[in-house]
A = this chain, B = another copy of it.
Amino acid sequence: MADRAAPARRVPLNRDRVLAAAVALADEAGIDAVSMRGLAQHLGVVPMALYKHIANKDELLDGMVDVVLGEVGPVDPELGWQDAVRQRVLAARRAVLRHPWARPAIESRTHRTPVVLGYMDALAGVFRRGGFSVDLTHHVMHALGNRMWGFSPELFEEAPAADPPEVDPEQLQAAMADFGRRYPHVLEIAMAATGGDLAGVGAGCDEEFEFEFALDLLLDAFDRLRERGWSSRRPVG
Contacts and interface: CB of A to CB of B under 8 A. Distances in A.
A121 B185 contact: yes
Given A142-B210, A213-B232, 19 more contacts: A110-B154, A110-B157, A112-B156, A121-B182, A125-B184, A125-B185, A134-B188, A134-B189, A137-B189, A142-B152, A142-B155, A142-B213, A143-B210, A143-B217, A145-B214, A195-B237, A217-B218, A217-B221, A218-B221
Interface string A123-144: 0110010000011011101110
What 7 A-B pairs come out closest when comparing CB atoms? A124-B185, A143-B214, A195-B236, A142-B210, A121-B183, A146-B153, A217-B221
A108 B105 CA distance: 10
Question: Quick one: copies of this chain in the complex?
Answer: 2
Contacts of A107: 107, 153
Contacts of A236: 192, 195
Nearest to A221: B217
A4 interface: no
A75 interface: no
B112 A157 contact: yes
A46 interface: no
A117 interface: yes
A186 B124 contact: yes
